[in-house]
Structure 1
Amino acid sequence: MGSLAVSRLAVDDVLPSASIADQVAVIARKNLAPQAVAIDEGTVYPDELLRRLGDVGAWGSHQPENGAADLRCAIQSIAALGEVCGATAFMAWCQNTLVWYASNSDNPALVAKFAEKFASGQILGGTGLSNPMKSFFGIEKLKLKGRKVEGGYVVKGALPWVSNLGPDHYFGTIFEREDEPGSIVMFLADCSNPGITLQPCKPFLAMDGTGTYGVQFRDVFVPDELILAETARPFVKKIRAGFILLQAGMGLGLIKDCIQIMDEVDAPLGHVNRYLPQQPVQFRELHAEFEKETMALARDPYNADDSYWRRVVALRLRLGDASVAAAHAAMLHCGARGYLKSHRAQRRLREAYFVAIITPATKQLRKMLAGDEH
């Protein structure tokens, strides 16, 4: 996967007084839009763009202060990117989630060394919690194993897919202790470690430029300063609502652009599109409803009430379903013109399926709502 340098925006293009989400939206329109197809095809991994977004504060707004956190700005920023490119919205979620892990850790050495570097975009990275999140609900077994040694742990195993990675990136994930079965530890993996190998994946249906690799750990020494949580279960319970809520930005942005696509073809095709069962007005109402619920939940990501958690899961499930429905409707509204590879409607449809299957996927969310927790 290649890399494409992004020219710095002129000072006039992003006003310091503008909100972070507004600044992100400007960068999305001016700098991201021309790269969206290349990112989708996998010829570009937009690392310079991701660092530029860090410059305007896109990765730091949700860091906790005085025991509270607010995810609204982060979600709005992801949504602004998602209106233009689903792959970049996904990478934004990865980076924001990495910041969420580091800034919530009770390891002061880790927080001091990494939290601001992740939040500024100086260091990029992702989240390797797909396998652990599935393991918590009895879907998979943990794929990484570790044992305690002096000054840290030694970890081995392999993860099939971790995104927003490169040779100098980090990501958060979990291993089970071989010396204490049932005990799990969450840590930061350093991709520059010689014991870690990034293996390119087979081509995906969409979003190949997301820095997604299979990751092999061959007796990797993980020092104590990279331990996010010695006891991972309570830590995951603390950060899980934020992990899922940040994904809402992907769906909100995609649905908004699908509405725009339907509006764009209304003039030439509205006389026949009115016979289609799903109309943009319905998705506008849905989008407004989802946005209101997301913003309400995003104010309070540490809420420990079960009713709050169920609202988070239910919202995420509905967003996945609605993303697919909106992209499907956009394709039908476009007709043959949307079937052209040059039209973004088919890209949005492929990206929408990703919103529905990214962990926690639609089927896992339904399992969670059914109360079938491992």
Structure 2
Amino acid sequence: MLETRTQQAGEAPVSGPAPAEDGLRELVAGQLAPLTGRIDREGLYPEEFLREAGQLGAFRSHLASQNPAGKADLVSAIRAEEVISAECMTTGFVAWCQNACAWYVENSDSSTLKREVLPKLANGEAFGATALSNPMKWFASIEELKLSAERVEGGYVVSGALPWVSNLGEDHYFGAIFRTTDDNPRPLMAVINCADPGFSLTPCPEFIALEGSRTFGCHFDRVFVPDEHVLADPLPEYIQRIRPGFVLLQMGMGLGLIEGCINTMHEANETLSHVNGYLDDQAGELEEVLEDARQATYALARDPFDTSDAFFADVLQMRLTGSELALRASQSALLHTGARGYLASAAAQRKLRESYFVAIVTPAIKHLRKELARIHAH
């Protein structure tokens, strides 16, 4: 049993239905599943599915101001991502981007963004992204911050470039962190609209997976950001507040992928169980591990606003475990499927490629281990 500081042995499992989960499962089966191959191989962006998922509440439950229950229910948001990722993790990743962007606005000081942008993100009327890969690496002393800004009347003028940000389009929103160049240089975080003057998107080199995620390079040529779009100033307390939820919401991708891999193993066993029994990982074993990981994740997600280092270490350890389990499950799925899983159209080889994305998307395995070492050293 996987345990964390917030879930001790013997504690009752955490559970609860995702928002309109049955409806979301029907939408995934009826509308997303027929597109999965094209999303993976042609880079199709599942816009219509995302809009309908938003109408079902898939991007709303973790936002107290938008959730009819009036509370931040991260468990339901994670479960919704799982349902999507079990079929297509590219779309599950995009759903996480959407959830993360809304999470930033929900927990910000900007009444303008909460009024004008947040309801659209929550309902799938507008799409959002998270450009925190570079800043998170900057916080961990892995790379330099790539955006800078000068103070002007009414806001900031931002310049620089980010190599890749996902779930973008001409009128999409995303959160970005830049450092001011005034007499009091400090990092700030704001919401950028891709339609802002001076902002441009450039195509990325082709990736081996996640091509349907609308990932672009972002270029800022003196982009004006009004004060009303600043999420937080000062930034440190805000980052401490949003970071557990940011990382926990990523678990929906990995947990859903693992479920999809187990489903693939069961399908393979319909004809190959007599020989698959000799493989190291069996579907039943992975099902038990997945359930343990789910309950540990949901336990942490009950209180995403704990800002202590001890709690964040638990979150990072859970995220690391999710990456490792995704790699293990996807390898098992391909081995169970055999040569048929090696076909270009096969789910098994696609899930293997997707699992490596879980392991390298920020925070990557090496990043997680570096941060855990830092926290435990204090």
How has the CA–CA distance of structure 1 residues 290 and 180 changed in structure 2, closer, same or farther, with 3 Å as cutoff? farther
Matched, 1:230 2:233: yes
Amino acid at match of 1:186: M
Q: Where does the alignment leave 5 or more consecutive residues of structure 2 unmatched?
A: 1-16
Q: Deviations over 1:270-306 (max 9, x none)?
A: 1111111111122111100011011111111001233
Alignment deviations for residues 159-213 of structure 1 (CA, whole Å, 9 cap, x no partner): 0110000001010010011114651000001101130110011110101010100
Where 2:212 maps in the other structure, the secondary structure is: coil
Corresponding position of 2:120: 117
Whichever residue aligns with residue 114 of structure 2, its letter is V
Aligned match of 1:370: 373
In the alignment, which residue of structure 1 is the partner of 2:11?
none
Corresponding letter in the other structure for 1:361: A
Aligned AA (1:40): D
Q: 2:198 aligns with which of 180, 195, 201?
A: 195
Aligned residue among 115, 130, 135 for 2:133: 130
Secondary structure, in 3 states, of the residue corresponding to 1:59? Answer: coil
Q: Is the 8 A contact 2:43 2:213 kept in 1?
A: no
In the superposition, relative to structure 1, how do residues 194 and 86 fare at CA in structure 2: closer, same or farther (>3 Å)? same
**Does structure 1 residue 336 correspond to structure 2 residue 351?**
no
Q: State the alpha-carbon separation in 1 of the partners of residues 221 and 128 from structure 2.
A: 20
Contact persistence 1:174–1:232 (CA under 8 A)? no
Structure 1 position 67, deviation (Å): 9.8
Question: Could you list the per-position Cα deviations for residues 246-289 of structure 1 after superposition, in whole angstroms to 9, with x for gaps in the alignment?
Answer: 00000111001111111111131111111111111221111000
Q: 1:294 aligns with which of 292, 297, 305?
A: 297
Match of 2:62 in 1: 62
CA deviation profile, 1:46-98 (whole Å, cap 9, x unmatched): 12211111111111111135996220110000000001001000000000001
| Shift >6 Å, 4+ stretches | none
Q: Is the partner of 2:175 in helix, strand or coil?
A: strand
Match of 2:359 among 335, 356, 360: 356
Percent identity, aligned pairs only, is 47
Report what 2:262 is aligned to.
259
C-alpha displacement at 1:43, in angstroms? 3.7
The one-letter code of the counterpart of 1:50 is L
Matched, 1:205 2:205: no
Is the CA contact 1:42–1:207 (under 8 Å) kept in the aligned structure 2? no
Any conservation in 2 of the 1:195–1:218 contact (CA below 8 Å)?
yes
Tell me the residue number matched to 2:88. 85
Contact 2:19 2:58 in 1 (8 A): no
Q: CA separation in 2, counterparts of 1:306 and 1:143?
A: 26
Q: Is the 8 A contact 2:188 2:235 kept in 1?
A: yes
Could you say which residue in structure 2 is the equivalent of 1:6?
A: none
Matched AA of 1:313: L
**Deviation at residue 23 of structure 1 after TM alignment:** 2.0
Structure 1: which 5+ runs fail to align? Answer: 1-16
1:22 CA displacement: 2.5
Work out whether residues 64 and 104 of structure 1, in 8 Å CA contact, stay in contact via their aligned partners in 2: no
Q: 2:10 matched to which residue of 1?
A: none
Deviates more, 1:112-121 or 1:252-261: 112-121
| Partner secondary structure for residue 143 of structure 2 | coil
Name the CA distance, whole Å, in 2 between partners of 1:315 and 1:42: 33
Pick aligned residue for 1:246 from 229, 246, 249: 249
SS of aligned partner of 1:238: helix
Tell me the residue number matched to 1:175.
178
Counterpart position of 1:31: 31
Change (3 A) 1:181 1:275: farther
Q: Deviations over 1:193-243 (max 9, x none)?
A: 130110011110101010100000001111112111122221111000000
- 1:273-312 correspondence to structure 2 within 5 Å: 273-312=276-315
Q: 1:42·1:210 contact (CA, 8 Å) conserved in 2? A: no
RMSD over equivalenced CA pairs, Å: 1.8
Q: Specify the code of the residue in structure 1 equivalent to 2:141.
A: G
* 1:319 maps to 2:322: yes
Q: Distance in 1 between matches of 2:305 and 2:202?
A: 35
* Letter of the 2:44 counterpart: V
Check the 8 A contact 1:70/1:300 in 2, yes or no: no
Q: 1:62 to 1:367 in 2, by over 3 A?
A: same
Contact 2:97 2:128 in 1 (8 A): yes
Residue 74 in structure 1 maps to residue 77 in structure 2: yes
